[in-house]
Amino acid sequence: MSSDLLVVENLRKQFGGLKAVGGDDGLSFSVKEGSFVGLIGPNGAGKSTTFNLISGVLEPTAGRVVLAGTDLANVRSSDIASLGLGRTFQTPRAFMSLSVLDNVLVGAKSSGENLRSVLLGGWRSSEPALIEKAKAALTRVGLEDRVTETVSNLSGGELRMLEVARQLIRDPKILLLDEPTAGVDPSLQGKLSKILTDLHKEGRTLIVVEHNLHFLFSIADQIIVLQQGELLSSGTPQEIKTDPKVVAAYLGDEHAA
Ligand SMILES: Nc1ncnc2c1ncn2[C@@H]1O[C@H](COP(=O)(O)OP(=O)(O)OP(=O)(O)O)[C@@H](O)[C@H]1O
């Protein structure tokens, strides 16, 4: 039986005294190694804040996050990635004037030195093994024909896939993806769903925030529903679709069984 890779325990985050995540007892849930979790909830439910707390972008007001047995309160946020956690953001982040390949390479080691030389315009990667790894990551996300393209010429969907490739080069155990279908042409969503399913099949744990429930419910094996920062429900996609609390509070009448 697989064990918990991620444990979120009594987690709370307030901004200026206003609750963003967690009620009185805080938000608690756990994610088993190798699972594919969808994190859903209406706008403002606390999904991105939860991602920011797990990835160390924000510090919790209370509670803790334990990744692979390590309490992240004891880990500098810049070191969380080296514990095997990768994440993408709602708004993709990239060096727009660099090539697709260089964007993957520059993130590979994430040293301050790399970033400084990119900003000064003198950065080059010359490690053949790393270049091969970057190309393999780009092939995984379907960008193998765009390797030499300048990032500013990519479509919104390609930019999202580039972000995933930038994470894959570090070989993360767990990947947090914030709205991967946003800006992706609907005709390409089948391709995206295959990419995510393949990452899952090779043993990676995925947590995906997504508003496109049709997309998410067809690929995730567990759904966690947040409402106003609190856990509303958790279960298989089928259980969630038919949970009266979820139907009433989130999915709306048209989804009622
Ligand atoms: N930096 C911040 N300062 C103040 N309030 C914030 C901040 N970030 C988030 N919030 C508030 O916290 C709550 C949760 O926001 P969050 O962005 O986590 O929700 P979400 O579920 O990701 O929403 P969406 O689906 O719209 O992206 C909201 O009420 C939001 O206004």
Structure confidence by residue, pLDDT tens digits, 175-232: 999 999 988 888 888 889 999 999 999 999 999 999 999 999 999 999 999 999 999 9
Please determine, for residue 135, whether its predicted confidence score (pLDDT) is greater than 70: yes
71 & 12 share domain:
yes
| Residue whose tokens read 């900003």 | 119
Return the ligand 1 atom nearest residue 48 CA.
22
- The predicted pLDDT at position 90 comes to 83
Return the ligand 1 atom nearest residue 45 CA.
21
- Report whether residue 43 contacts ligand 1, using a CB cutoff of 6 Å: yes
- The predicted pLDDT at position 151 comes to 94
17 & 35 share domain:
yes
Residue 228 Cα, ligand 1 centroid: separation in angstroms?
10
Mutate which of 8, 27, 47 to test ligand 1's pocket (most atoms within 8 Å of Cβ)? 47
> Parallel, antiparallel, or unpaired for β 205-209 and 174-178?
parallel
pLDDT tier at 257 (50, 70, 90 boundaries)? very low
- Report whether residue 41 contacts ligand 1, using a CB cutoff of 6 Å: yes
- Report whether residue 45 contacts ligand 1, using a CB cutoff of 6 Å: yes
pLDDT-wise least confident of 59-63, 232-236, 249-253? 249-253
Q: Is residue 176 part of a domain?
A: yes
Residue 154 Cα, ligand 1 centroid: separation in angstroms?
28
124 & 16 share domain:
no
Q: Is residue 235 part of a domain?
A: yes
Residue 63 Cα, ligand 1 centroid: separation in angstroms?
18
Residue 82 Cα, ligand 1 centroid: separation in angstroms?
27
The angle formed by the CA atoms of residues 125, 130 and 135, to the nearest 5 degrees, is 100
Q: Pick the more confident residue, 185 or 118.
A: 185
Q: Pick the more confident residue, 125 or 164.
A: 164
79 & 99 share domain:
no
Please determine, for residue 251, whether its predicted confidence score (pLDDT) is greater than 70: no
pTM of the model: 0.90
- The predicted pLDDT at position 131 comes to 87
- The predicted pLDDT at position 77 comes to 83
Please determine, for residue 249, whether its predicted confidence score (pLDDT) is greater than 80: no
145 & 33 share domain:
no
Q: Where are the beta strands (DSSP E) in the chain?
A: 4-15, 18-21, 27-32, 36-40, 62-67, 70-71, 85-87, 174-178, 205-209, 222-227, 230-235
Whether the CA torsion 117, 119, 121, 127 is positive or negative: it is positive
- Report whether residue 49 contacts ligand 1, using a CB cutoff of 6 Å: yes
76 & 113 share domain:
no
192 & 214 share domain:
yes
| Residue whose tokens read 């995906």 | 208
Give the domain extent around 221: 4-84+172-255
Q: From atom 8 of ligand 1, which residue's Cα is the shortest distance away?
A: 49
Please report, for the domain that includes residue 71, its CATH number. Answer: 3.40.50.300
Question: What is the rounded average pLDDT of the residues 164-185?
Answer: 92
CB hemisphere CA count around 235 (13 angstroms): 12
Q: Is residue 218 part of a domain?
A: yes
- The predicted pLDDT at position 86 comes to 93
Q: Is residue 103 part of a domain?
A: yes
- Report whether residue 104 contacts ligand 1, using a CB cutoff of 6 Å: no
73 & 199 share domain:
yes
CB proximity list for 189: less than 8 A, separation 6 or greater: 181, 212, 215
Q: From atom 28 of ligand 1, which residue's Cα is the shortest distance away?
A: 44
The string of pLDDT tens digits covering residues 62-111 is 999 999 999 999 898 888 988 999 999 888 888 888 899 989 988 776 55
- Report whether residue 20 contacts ligand 1, using a CB cutoff of 6 Å: yes
- Report whether residue 47 contacts ligand 1, using a CB cutoff of 6 Å: yes
Please count the structural domains in the chain. 2
Please determine, for residue 33, whether its predicted confidence score (pLDDT) is greater than 50: yes
176 & 248 share domain:
yes
- The predicted pLDDT at position 114 comes to 57
If you average pLDDT over every residue of the chain, what do you get?
89
Q: Is residue 165 part of a domain?
A: no
> Parallel, antiparallel, or unpaired for β 70-71 and 85-87?
unpaired
Residue 238 Cα distances to 28, 101, 205, 243, 257, angstroms: 22, 40, 20, 9, 10
Residue 194: both structure tokens together? 């295959």
Residue 148 Cα, ligand 1 centroid: separation in angstroms?
36
Q: From CA 166, how far away is CA 72, in angstroms rounded? A: 22
233 & 182 share domain:
yes
232 & 179 share domain:
yes
Residue 114 Cα, ligand 1 centroid: separation in angstroms?
32
Question: What's the full length of the chain, in residues?
Answer: 257
